[in-house]
Amino acid sequence: MKFYITKISFLLLLSTMLFASCETEESLTITAPEAEFVLNTPGISTVFLNFALPDNPAFTLSWEDEVTGSSSYTVEMAADAEFTSPFTLGTTEAKNFSMTVAEFNNAIANSGATTFRDVPVYIRVSAGSEISNSILLLATRYPTDAPVISSPLAGDTFVLSIGSVDDTVLTVNWTDAVLESSLGTDINYIIEAATAGTDFASPVSIGTTTNASTVSSTHSELNAVAIGIGLTPEVAGNMDIRIVAKNTNSGGSELTRISDALTISVTPYLSAFPNLYVVGDATSPGWSNDNNNTPLFRNQDVPNNYVYVGYFGAGAFKLLETKGAWQPQWGGTNDGAALAVNTGSGSDPGTFNIATAGYYSYNFTTVGESGSFTVEAYDASAAPTYTSMAIIGDATPNGWDGDNDTNFTQDTNNPHLWYINGVTLTNGGFILIRANDDWADVWRYSGSNQLYGKANLSGDGDNIPFNAETGSYDFWFNDLDGSYNIIPN
């Protein structure tokens, strides 16, 4: 009997345990995660907006929405985590959103941001009344608004005087929000001038400055600019001026912002500009400063503009104002576009460099003690090569005697360059330039009453007038473009 009772007790105990176990299992509750509307944190928290890549994506955001079931989302930004003044970036039907560099940069500017580095941008997404969490991006943006000229005013008049060459006559002031904030880089300003209505096709610099908002010009400096853009001495002319702001970002890209232009009236005074002569191993005289140095040809329409189309050997050259003297000496700068001069009290400028021998077209514009130049290759392959070149006319030694022209000497390195040294020319007479001692190729008057100009190659037209004092002159002529210089000895 004991054995039987024990067995029954064990079964009762096992039954009780199984019942208790089933009762506990039925009381467990499995809870599913709450539905979320959450903006995912991007992999980066800083955004550098590079103005050189405006179409690149600035950022891409994505989010999870298990709450709204919406098919339309609004992406908002604000300057603070409380979204006191939210600003809409855009809308989308997808659960992701991106903006280009230019779009995001403009959005930050339109939101009222006044700084440029580490601008806090809080972003969130909304769908109806539901709003996601927010994320923080620190953006470094670039300026887009141009400087604004505050003085002079449009229509202001400036009459320049040779008796006040060192007095300040023009002060250009401007405002620029960039100067009042932390951009983290220098801002270089160039004040440019151009003939009114030319859209700054050939601008001339009035002055430059860095991280400042004013540039002044003397009577002499502004006169050089006025003549340089083509205004006529002693006649009021319209000059457009503008501000060009430039800065370079950490990636080496340059950003340019240009102000609106305004027009002022400037009356320049008459000023003489010197002849300029080449010197250097790329030219015929070599590095001798008194070796029949070739002059640049002066633009008959712009007094301080010089042109030269011709052959250069591989090497370098500079420009001199006086043959036999090393100063004033003009040369290039490291940027390959600006002119520099040593008037005699400073350091000599750099050289103009010719890497490959050949024909080139140079254009020089001097402005005070600076200026600019351009150079490009010139194709002379179709130009005829003449065996002789001469002048004829009643201003020349042998008058109109067609059998006794006054011949040029041909340059040894450039068959298109011709010169006569020490020729006597007579006041009140006329000159024609002709090739090969006949009338087939004749260069005639093209409107210049100066001792320089550009003659026209044509079968008809006026003779070139010579209205200077009777005396001895050096006569230079370039048959590639018809340029000539008559230089008194």
DSSP secondary structure, 384-420, as one string: ---S-EEEESTTSTTTT-TTS-EEPEEPSS-TTEEEE
- DSSP states along 182-227: --SS--EEEEEEEETTSTTSS-EEEEEEES-SEEEEEHHHHHHHHH
Residue 480 makes CB contacts below 8 A (sequence gap 6+) with 309, 310, 359, 378, 380, 383, 416
Structure tokens at 460: 């008809």
The β-bridge partners of 370 are: 340, 367
pLDDT digits (tens, 9 = 90+) for 433-447: 999 998 889 999 988
| Percent of the chain whose pLDDT exceeds 70 | 91
State mean pLDDT over 60-76: 94
Residue 300 DSSP code: S
Pairing of strands 417-425, 471-478: antiparallel
State mean pLDDT over 312-326: 96
pLDDT digits (tens, 9 = 90+) for 458-479: 766 789 999 888 999 999 999 9
At 85, the pLDDT band (50, 70, 90 cuts) reads very high
Q: Which residue has the higher pLDDT, 135 or 45?
A: 135
CA 25 – CA 84 distance, rounded (Å)? 51
Instruction: Look at residue 3 and tell me whether its pLDDT is greater than 50.
Output: no
Q: Which of 63, 150, 137, 55 has the alpha carbon at shortest distance from 99?
A: 55
Q: Answer whether 0.85 is exceeded by the pTM.
A: no
At 26, the pLDDT band (50, 70, 90 cuts) reads low
The β-bridge partners of 376 are: 361
Q: Which of 306, 484, 479, 464 has the alpha carbon at shortest distance from 387?
A: 479
**Mean pLDDT score of the chain:** 89
The angle at the Cα of 339, spanning 230 to 353, to the nearest 5 degrees, equals 125
pLDDT digits (tens, 9 = 90+) for 162-186: 778 889 999 999 999 888 776 778 8
- DSSP states along 129-145: TEEEEEEEEEEE----S
Lowest mean pLDDT among 31-40, 120-129, 131-140: 31-40
Neighbouring CB atoms inside 10 A of 28's CB total 6
Answer whether 410's CB lies under 8 Å from 429's CB. Answer: no
State mean pLDDT over 92-102: 95
Instruction: Look at residue 70 and tell me whether its pLDDT is greater than 60.
Output: yes
pLDDT digits (tens, 9 = 90+) for 336-381: 889 999 988 889 999 999 999 999 999 998 877 788 899 999 999 9
CA 126 – CA 37 distance, rounded (Å)? 9
State mean pLDDT over 234-248: 94
- What single-letter amino acid sits at 273? F
CA 204 – CA 54 distance, rounded (Å)? 30
Pairing of strands 370-377, 338-342: antiparallel
Residue 471 makes CB contacts below 8 A (sequence gap 6+) with 424, 425, 488, 489
Structure tokens at 224: 């050089």
- What single-letter amino acid sits at 398? N
Instruction: Look at residue 25 and tell me whether its pLDDT is greater than 60.
Output: no
At 293, the pLDDT band (50, 70, 90 cuts) reads very high
pLDDT of residue 6: 40
pLDDT of residue 250: 67
pLDDT of residue 89: 95
